[in-house]
Amino acid sequence: MTRRFLVAATIALLACLVAGPAPAGQGAKTVAFVDVAVVPMDRNRVLENRTVVVRDGRIAEIGPAATTKVPADALRVDGRGKFLMPGLAEMHGHLPHPNLGDPIAKAFLTLFVANGVTTVRGMYGFPNHTALRESVRKGEALGPRLFVASPALSGQSVANPEAAQRLVREHKQAGYDLLKVHEGLSKASYAAVVATANEVGLRFAGHVPNDVGLEGALAARQSSVEHLDGYVEALEADDSPIKNADAKTRDEKLLEYLDERKIPTLAARTRDAGVWNAPTMALWRTFFSSETVDSLRQRPELKYVPPQMVTQWSQQRAGQLQNRDDPKGLDRVLTLRDRTLKGLADAGAKLLLASDAPQLFSVPGFSLHREMEAMASAGLTPYQVLEAGTRNAAEYLGILGEAGTVEVGKRADLILVDANPLADVRNVARRSGVMIDGAWHSLADLQKMLDQVAATVAAPPKPQ
């Protein structure tokens, strides 16, 4: 039941049709957030009454509001009563398909920026994504800093270990930042991916192929596991009578033979292997819940994706609900996922904030706020949730020296929020503005960007 449903659920809808030109991210070279509470995310604390000066895209100074001089040429942002935190990272996002064209791809990035998402790890690569990454880097497009995974290495794209070796080298050559591993890879092909990836110096991340299993992924030190893939299966009791049964029987019966007491051990092994998890909790809740199409269609952020996408999601959802033959089993999987996540956090295994948008009523940018709520409701503290989306993401990406926290010298990717995010992660959505790479966008600017996206996506699509 679990695996079959998981696979069906993760066949991603990759046709991201969000359109519209992105407004240029222009702003003053020097910006001062005056008398603001800083949530630095170096540890669980708030620094009250600070003034933060940003110059040329970097945090130049953080000091007591009473004594820190605001430079004469600075744009002053009143920080009283507000909190300044690092920008968020979407660590499992999907960037648009190349068929949609460059302007559309750039507009798509607007949704991230408007939601305070300043870094994105694109987890399903197409050849245009490296160019998109570069145009953001050069400042030609407004968008989050991009890290792009290769096209998926799956049972479909990789016929044998030789093909795996060849593709890994090609993806390295093409400039991808990491390799995406996916369903269906054989043990031998996976081993070839791992060996060649290590040889050429590329990380690999993604699903846990059936043949490999969680144990295999941990042993190979897969850099991140997506969707908590393989964890429920790894909870199979030692005395399970279906260990050698056929795939169909195992699929149907596995939930009867799980042992939750294995969670702490599994979590500790994950930590010790240095394997990260990008759990995508909210999307799985949608997949496995009984929420109706009508209810899902009420989500206000759906106006920022093309209506045909919502129609497609509605049909997909209707199909899921029709085939929902084991609601109790699905509830059980959701509970196990929450407990696994909590177990990983308790063990100190590293977590990443990740939503897998756009997929089934999850809209880029907006979906991360839903994801934070889902992680919190699994029992994580607000600090643990925010850490997954800020500091941890930067650490995973190898950029903690220049991003991920609010500290002098770091890249000015910031969110100004109206209430303490360490008290409640929902406060991150109460924005006063977003700074990306030193450029300030007030709430009014962000709303204008969103309005433009809404207008564009409402228009009928142009033939490609």
- Nearer residue to Zn ion within complex by CB, 10 or 427: 10
402-403-404-409 Cα dihedral, nearest 10 degrees: 60
d(CA 438, CA 116): 13
- Asked, as a colleague might, if the bond just before 358 is cis with ω within 30 of 0, I would say yes
- 86 DSSP β-pair partners: 414
**What is the nearest approach in angstroms of Zn ion to the Cβ of residue 367?**
11
Beta bridge partners of 204: 179
Dihedral sign for Cα atoms in the order 23, 142, 428, 302: positive
Q: Are 262 and 235 in contact (CB under 8 A)?
A: yes
Q: 270 and 349 in contact (C-beta within 8 Å)?
A: yes
Residue nearest Zn ion by beta-carbon distance: 356
Cβ nearer to Zn ion, comparing 13 with 318: 13
Give least dist CB 283 to Zn ion, A: 9
Task: Choose between 359 and 432: whose C-beta lies nearer to Zn ion.
Answer: 359
The residue among 432, 414, 388 whose CA lies nearest residue 59 is: 414
Residue environment code for 369-383, b if the CB has 16+ CB neighbours within 10 A, otherwise e: bbbbbbbbebebebb
Q: Are 369 and 355 in contact (CB under 8 A)?
A: no
In the complex, the smallest distance separating the C-beta of residue 437 from Zn ion, rounded to whole angstroms, is 26
Determine the angle formed by the axes of helices 102-114 and 129-137, rounding to 10 degrees: 60
Taking the least distance from each CB to Zn ion, the nearer of 356 and 371 is 356
Phi, psi of 195 (to 5 degrees): -65, -45
Nearer to Zn ion, 227 or 411 (CB): 227
Q: How far is the CB of 357 from Zn ion (least distance, A)?
A: 9
Nearer to Zn ion, 128 or 456 (CB): 128
Kindly tell me which of 49 and 157 has the beta carbon lying closer to Zn ion. Answer: 157
3-state SS assignment for residue 114: helix
Which residues fall within 8 angstroms of residue 134, CB to CB, at 6 or more apart?
Answer: none
Closest approach of Cβ 244 to Zn ion, in Å?
32
CB nearer Zn ion, residue 95 or residue 168? 95
Nearer to Zn ion, 39 or 212 (CB): 212
Pairing of strands 414-417, 431-436: antiparallel
| Smallest distance from Zn ion to CB 356, Å | 4
Which positions lie near Zn ion, rule CB under 5 A? 12, 123, 356
Smallest distance from the beta carbon of 94 to Zn ion, in angstroms? Answer: 6
CB of 316 to Zn ion, least distance (A): 15
Least separation in angstroms between residue 338's CB and Zn ion is: 20
CB 457, CB 304: distance < 8 Å: yes
